[in-house]
Structure 1
Amino acid sequence: MASLPELVYTTPQGGTIHKYELTGGKSSFLRYLGCYLGSCKFCNDLEEATVYLENTETTNY
């Protein structure tokens, strides 16, 4: 059974990054979900999620 999402990072503007453990078949995958103002994206690593969040907050600011 996969664990619950875990909050990893929150920005001063309100953006968040959560860590998810997802299962697919016999494998487990660790993904990061970056969200800001309802715009969300699953990313393969924390760095990708951070870059996504920075770009999203900049364009919506």
Structure 2
Amino acid sequence: MPPLPQLVKATPQGGTIHKYQLSGGKTSFMRYLGCYLGTCKFCNDIHEATEFVSSIELSPKSL
């Protein structure tokens, strides 16, 4: 059974980044899932996931 996703980061606005251990054939690799308000994207590294979440989050000033 594959390990469960782990929460890596949560933002004050409610965005989250989880890491997933995935396997494909004989290889196992790590992917990061960045989400905010139901919009999610799998990314290759935590930096990419952080940039994605930051780009779609609403800033407190725009509320």
TM-score by length of 1: 0.91
Q: Which stretches in structure 1 are left out of the alignment for 5+ residues? A: none
Alignment match, 1:44: 44
How far did residue 58 of structure 1 move? Answer: 4.0
Which letter maps to 1:39?
T
Give deviations 1:6-61, integer Å, cap 9, x for gaps: 000000000000000001111001000000000000000000000000001048x6
Alignment partner of 2:57: what SS? helix
How far did residue 2 of structure 1 move? Answer: 2.1
- State the Cα RMSD in Å: 1.5
Alignment match, 2:31: 31
Q: Which stretches in structure 2 are left out of the alignment for 5+ residues? A: none
Alignment match, 1:9: 9
Question: Would you say how many aligned residue pairs link Structure 1 and Structure 2?
Answer: 60
Output the CA distance in 1 between the equivalents of 2:29 and 2:53.
21
Does the Cα contact within 8 Å between 2:13 and 2:58 map onto a contact in 1?
no
Q: Percent identity?
A: 65
